[in-house]
Structure 1
Amino acid sequence: MVDKISQAVLTELTAKAKESPRLRMNLDLRNGNDDTSQRMLNAIEPGSEVPIHRHQKTSETVVCLRGRLVEEYYDELERICTEAIELSPNGPVVALNIPAGQWHTVRALESGTVILEMKDGTYEPTGPEDILKY
């Protein structure tokens, strides 16, 4: 468990993301197995492929702690990007609440990008019905 989210924690997580084949790495921030929240840091490097997906039962709050990223919203029927929102710690948008059921993905625009993600309830793996196929 991490009590303080320091620059050193973000740097270490970024180093692990750079070494990962997926070019991302997360750090669970829950207080233990009995904690039913979903809170994590996610270091994402440019080139990391996050599938377009949705969370049917929960909204998702994303806070950009370091770097720069874009959250993209998609339309299920047209399968096109309907909105692209840039987040950065010093930019006009630093955090975003993604409504439950909204198709979305994230792309890192800078190396060293780290976000804080929070969702309601316990973790549920993303099923095939929650990945947007082309």
Structure 2
Amino acid sequence: MTINQEILDDLTEQAKVSERLRMNLDLRDSADDGSQRMLNAIEPGSILPIHRHQKTSETMVCLRGKLRVEYYDEQDCKYTESFILEPNGINVAVNIPMGMWHTVRALESGTCILEMKNGPYEPIKEGDVLKI
């Protein structure tokens, strides 16, 4: 599969009309594929809870648009650090360490990322969402 602008445009249009203001496209070969690889179109205003992944790190590559990655401290439930990802910016990708509390916020319409994690998909459990 070639990932082109047409695919990103289509995913963005779906995200714009989605209640969550985001839409993903599974890039795995089959449901038996033990990895997680997806395109994720995220529009400004989409709410992604502050969460962590206890069994895997998470790699994000900004293909289009601009987003802010935010890290949080579990002990104080406070924001600790953020940085911007954009295709032609200083930072184009990030590898979020396993267990790191984080969220992302789209800063431009049309923002699309490539997201990868180890192992099969596991929904985020209640204990892995930070309550602020």
TM-score, reference length from structure 1? 0.97
**What is residue 60 of structure 2 aligned with on the other side?**
62
**What is residue 102 of structure 1 aligned with on the other side?**
100
**What is residue 11 of structure 2 aligned with on the other side?**
13
Offset of 1:78 from its aligned partner?
A: 1.2
Offset of 1:124 from its aligned partner?
A: 0.8
Question: CA separation in 2, counterparts of 1:24 and 1:34?
Answer: 25
Question: CA separation in 1, counterparts of 2:87 and 2:45?
Answer: 21
**What is residue 39 of structure 1 aligned with on the other side?**
37
1:92 partner letter: I
2:40 partner letter: N
Offset of 1:77 from its aligned partner?
A: 1.2
Offset of 1:52 from its aligned partner?
A: 0.1
Q: Which runs of 4+ in 1 moved over 2 A?
A: none
1:76-123, CA deviations, whole angstroms, 9 ceiling, x for partnerless residues? 011111010100000000000000000000000000000000000111
Question: CA separation in 1, counterparts of 2:91 and 2:37?
Answer: 20
Gaps of 5+ in 1: none
**Secondary structure in 2 matching 1:85:** strand
**What is residue 79 of structure 1 aligned with on the other side?**
77
**Secondary structure in 2 matching 1:13:** helix
Identity %: 67
> Does 2:51 match 1:26?
no
Equivalent in 85, 91, 94 of residue 93 of structure 1: 91
**Secondary structure in 2 matching 1:49:** coil
2:95 partner letter: N
**What is residue 111 of structure 1 aligned with on the other side?**
109
Q: How large is the RMSD of aligned CA atoms in angstroms?
A: 0.5
**Secondary structure in 2 matching 1:55:** coil
Offset of 1:33 from its aligned partner?
A: 1.2
TM-score, reference length from structure 2? 0.99
Gaps of 5+ in 2: none
